[in-house]
Amino acid sequence: MAAKIRQPGWYRALAFSILGVLVCLGLSTGLRAAFSVDPVYDGASVLQISLLMVPIFFLGGIGCFDYWLRWASGRTVVDDHADHGAKSWRDYFKVNTDHKVIGIQYICVSFFFMFIGGLMAMLVRAELASPGRQFVDPNTYNGIFSIHATLLIFLFVIPVFAGIANYVLPLMIGAPDMAFPRLNALSFWMLPVAGTMMLLSFLAPGGSFAAGWTAYAPLSVDAPIGQAFFTIAVQFAGASSIATALNFLVTIITMRAPGMTFFRMPLLVWANFSTSLLVVIATPFIAASQFMVLLDRALGFNFFNPSGGGDVLMYQHVFWFYSHPAVYIMLLPGFGIISEVLATRARKPVFGYRMMAFSLLAIVLLGFTVWAHHMFVSGMADWIRIPMMVTTAIIAIPTGIKIFSWVATLWRGVLKMDTPMLWAVGFISMFTLGGISGVMLAMVPLDIHVSDTYFIVAHIHYVLFGGSMFTIMAGIYFWFPKMTGRMYNERLGKIHFWLTFIFFNVTFAPMHLIGVEGMPRRVSDYAEQFATWNMIISISSFILGLSSLIFLYNMVVSWRSGPKAVSNPWNALTIEWQVSSPPPIFNFDSIPSVVGGPYEYGVPGAVHAVFGDAKPKAVPVAAGAGAAEAD
Amino acid sequence: MVVASAIGIAFMLALNWFPAQASNAAPKIDTFWDVLIIVSVPIFVAVTSMLLFSIWRWRQRPGEEDLDGPPIHGSTKLEVIWTIIPTIIIAALTTYAAILLVDIQAAPAKGTRVVNVNGVQFAWGFETPTPAGTVKTAKLYLPLNEPVKFNVRSKDVIHDFWVPAFRLKVDAVPGITTSYNLTPTKLGTFDVVCAELCGLGHAYMRQTVTVLTPERYTAVMAGLARASGATAPAAGATADAIGKQIFVAGNPATGATACGACHAMKAAGTTAATGPNLDEMLKGDNAAGILEMIVYPNKEIVKGYSKGIMPANYASSLTKAQLAALVKYIDQSVHGKG
């Protein structure tokens, strides 16, 4: 037992966590005694310090810091790769430095929280099925929709993309791993910490946090202690995000295989490069906003208390300076996935590759100039509205370029309409709708009427469900054979798609209507006139929720006993498909050399990369046309 | 007949999307919406039909498993076209929107009637100037076709003052005064909604605005000014009758919700179960205790019920005399003294 507690792992994590609580208890009571504060023991104080510190103890216990501390304290460090790669399923529950293991850890944990977040959505719909109170009181209701949004944003969409990229991206650029494998492990382990903390808020006295995922001050400052769980959990999710983004940036910039110029990178790599830029610049702002709320709550700093000289609107400016770019953080990686899936399944190069890459960068740049469009009715200075409307509308241009280029990629292809392709095509159509309602919302006069209504709820679900979720599904089905070495069940995949597609629309399309008609969002009760639509929406949402069980069944059963996958079932050119499924522990026996573009489908004899000593053949591709002529 | 049904369908569509048009801004915003719809629908239809056409025309057929498409890498001409066309559309729409915004938010003329709108958890309070002094109500009254400016404030958290029929809204932000102005253009009673999450009772923060003809308006406001002047209750009616009246029907003039709408009480014959049963709950309370519970409903909460559901505005929506009558009536009814 003692030996077990000395080794990094769950026993030590538990022991350290208990130790952490005791330290926090001592710190709080000690300081209060020293400054003669009465009473000496204050539960809220101990709880808030614990929320901040116990996760660090836990991460230390599970083993995230062992190597660094040994190295920093001058002890011998062993570089035997003992914690690299998974030999059994147990290794997925340990700190591991292999990007493929971390990728799977990310994806599984994200989907765990997706199912919980989805369940919350169904509870919300059950309450809203008819006017009046059904089965939860207003406080619980506000908590449920707050946790629904928070989990699905911070614990599902953002990390699941980081997970897919973690697995695929180093393979795609011909790298043996990420640039900082131990940092990568730490990034992952902060996620379950953040998610667990959010769920634990249900147990807090006064209920869970209930101020929405936006946690506007002063509502969040005055709220019961459950709010602190949000404020602090977001710090861990954010730190995880930032560390991963840095890792991606360094990996992409410095670890590409020889010959892989920036314009030979697959678009998924471009997409994650752009996303990481967004994360590194924007995420510190939400951390700041939540630290200010925490200081207001715990220590009475009055950042957002007007009678103490604070400013209520400042919270929204700082918050949206992150949270608008966050929308692109939740979309750009998906754009990358769609480009990969479409090129492979249509057997054609991605139309306008360079513009596809540049439009990503344009979205990154423009994404930082539009945050106040969430605040058109907030009471901020009037003049800001028209400039923000114009910049917001301009984002439609690079986004339009992407949509039209995807459509053109299909033109004259040989379209294999399998599950990943269905999700990709479904995405293009649904995301176009979400984009259009986005342009409508950018128009200030209309936004004044529909902001904070169900029209907004419809819009964000068309963007994040019809958009992000569809791309995630496309990506999961597409790389499932690579990650697990097994094939999924095609028929179940298609049933899953069609059920989701149909009931997604039945659920969210009517919300546009009731929003314009005057139903505000975030309400547990509403006027009689909206009753019929809400009942239809609720019934449809239950079917939508249940359809995800087909997905779960397909994934679990296929992973255990699906037919074995060959290394390149899609006949794709990018590097991850040129190694076995799943890939060897260190990815490549020999480093690949990149000799052409990633999507040269239809070019006779074209290859993207060659392995080992094989001499790169001159390939007649558009970009290399000059070289071919010289031969 | 065909024409009539076409007009009928168009009418229904218009009805379905928007609530009534009750302000000068409403028809303009609704027209703008129509323009947006006319521009948007073709874009969505174009993208979707291209997708469906491609799938129908170039779907992989048996025997084509090993075929590739032609290596088309792009077309500068097409890319220029689909950059420029959206740019023109966006430029046109933002120009329209900017002009419209300036129009509907034009500064009010000097001397425009100013109504103070105060948001508290979880009710709106309105302060309207009348010749006899400022009148505080929980229900908003406006005269038809006369411009009005709302100064919106909050003391606790952020609320949002929205009248869907007017199409305009603005947040009530602690520490600052926000405002907008409009001219009501339609007689009738419309919903006032809080559109910004403000806590537990957010969903219940729904009141009404009534637009009256200027003559009716002057009369109603004069009556309200008299009533709130702490004069004796209406002549002729006994205190008991007033108490029962308020319990069962509330005071629609000031927006005081009827007690019986949420509470059951045998003597009044009410059976609603949103709030606790008063016969059981108030058994051990005297008149002073009952008054405190009406005025400060969040001080103590009966187990199984939530804070913040009962309006906390009775001190302003009922006069002192009315409150006294109400308390007396409840006290007598609960303790069987009636």
Judge whether A273 lies within some domain.
Answer: yes
A23 falls within a domain: yes
Angstrom distance (rounded) from CA A330 to CA A430: 15
pLDDT at site B15? 52
Q: Residues of A numbered 133-152 whose beta carbons fall under 8 angstroms of chain B's beta carbons: which are they?
A: 133, 137-139, 142
Residue A238 structural domain: 96-312
Q: Are residues A621 and A533 in the same domain?
A: no
**DSSP character string of A357-399:** HHHHHHHHHHHTT-GGGGGTTTT--GGGHHHHHHHHHHTHHHH
What CATH number corresponds to the domain at position A452?
Answer: 1.20.210.10
A317 is a domain residue: no
How confident is residue A618, by pLDDT bands cut at 50, 70 and 90? Answer: very low
CA atoms within a 13 Å half-sphere pointing along the CA-CB vector of A304: 29
B67-124 per-position pLDDT tens digit: 999 999 999 999 999 999 999 999 999 999 999 999 998 888 888 999 999 998 888 9
Q: Which of A509, A543, A565 is the last residue of a domain?
A: A565
> By CB neighbour count within 10 A (0-12 exposed, 13-18 middle, 19+ buried), where does A66 fall?
middle
The first and second tokens of residue A435, run together, are: 């984009």
Mean pLDDT of B237-248: 75
* Residues A108 and A245 both lie in one domain: yes
Residue range A499-525: average pLDDT?
94
Last residue of one domain, picked from the residues A39, A72, A105: A72
Those residues with Cβ within 8 angstroms of residue B333's Cβ, 6 or more apart along the chain or in another chain: B265, B266, B267, B268
Identify the pLDDT of residue B111: 85
Mean pLDDT estimate for chain B: 85
Same domain for A575 and A552: no
- For the cut 80, the answer to whether the pLDDT of residue B273 exceeds it is no
pLDDT of residue B11: 46
**Do A399 and A437 fall within a single domain?**
yes
Position A275 scores a pLDDT of 97
Q: Is residue A84 part of a domain?
A: no
Q: Looking at the structure, do residues A152 and A232 belong to the same domain, yes or no?
A: yes
Domain ranges of chain B: 2-54+76-104, 113-227, 239-334
pLDDT tens digits for A455-501? 999 999 999 999 999 999 999 999 999 999 999 999 999 999 999 99
A81 belongs to a structural domain: no
Residue scoring higher pLDDT (B14 or B130): B130
Query: Coil, strand or helix: which one is B206?
Result: strand
B133 bridge partner residues: B130
User: Which pLDDT value is given to residue B229?
Assistant: 55
pLDDT given for residue A31 in this prediction? 93
Q: How confident is the model at residue B228 (pLDDT cuts 50, 70, 90)?
A: low
| This prediction's pTM | 0.87
A514-530 mean pLDDT: 92
| Residues 44 through 103 of chain B touching chain A, CB cutoff 8 Å | 44, 47-48, 50-51, 54-55, 58-60, 64, 67-75, 78-79, 82-83, 86-87, 90, 93-94, 97-98, 100-101
A121 and A58 together in one domain:
no
Please indicate whether, in this complex, the C-beta atoms of A522 and B202 are within 8 angstroms of each other. Answer: yes
Q: Do A222 and B156 touch (CB under 8 A)?
A: yes
**pLDDT value at residue B16:** 63
Q: Are residues A280 and A376 in the same domain?
A: no
Among A284, A312, A340, identify where a domain stops: A312
- pLDDT the model gives residue B237: 58
Is pLDDT above 90 for A159? yes
Percent of chain B with pLDDT over 90: 43
Find the distance separating the first CA and the last CA of chain A, reported in whole Å: 69
pLDDT confidence bin for B10, thresholds 50/70/90: low
Numbers of helices and strands, H then E, in chain B: 9, 12
* CB of A358 less than 8 A from some CB of B: no
pLDDT value at position A209? 94
Residue A413 sits in the same domain as residue A487: yes
Interatomic CA distance for residues B26 and B182, integer angstroms? 10
Contact A445 B29 (CB under 8 A): yes
- The CATH fold assigned to B113-227 is Immunoglobulin-like (2.60.40)
Specify the amino acid at residue A498.
W
Q: Distance of alpha carbon A490 from its chain centroid, rounded?
A: 26
Tokens of A206: 């006064």
Start-to-end C-alpha separation, chain B: 64
Q: B209 pLDDT band (50/70/90 cuts)?
A: very high
Place of tokens 């019920």: B305
Does A224 contact B at CB distance below 8 Å?
Answer: no
Residues A254-268 have pLDDT tens digits of 999 999 999 999 999
Q: Give the ipTM of the model, two decimals please.
A: 0.90
pLDDT of residue A619: 46
A346 occurs within a structural domain: yes
Contacts of A570 in chain B (CB under 8 A): none
CATH H-level superfamily of B239-334: Cytochrome c-like domain (1.10.760.10)
Clarify whether residues A545 and A606 are in a common domain: no
In this structure, what token pair is assigned to residue B140? 């908003």
Question: In the predicted model, is pLDDT for residue A534 greater than 70?
Answer: yes
Peptide bond into B122 cis (omega under 30): yes
Phi, psi angle pair for B231, to nearest 5°: -80, 175
CA-nearest residue to A603 within chain B is B71
- Confidence at residue A628, expressed as pLDDT on a 0 to 100 scale: 36
Q: Is residue A326 part of a domain?
A: no
Q: Which of A28-42, A301-315, B117-131, B282-296 has the lowest mean pLDDT?
A: B282-296
Contact call for A415 and B55, based on CB within 8 A: yes
A 430-459: CB under 8 A from B? 432-433, 436, 439-440, 443-446, 448-449, 451-453
Are A209 and A306 part of one and the same domain? yes
| Count: domains in chain A | 4
**Binary contact (B98, A386; C-beta < 8 A):** yes
With a cut of 60, say whether residue B183 has pLDDT above it: yes
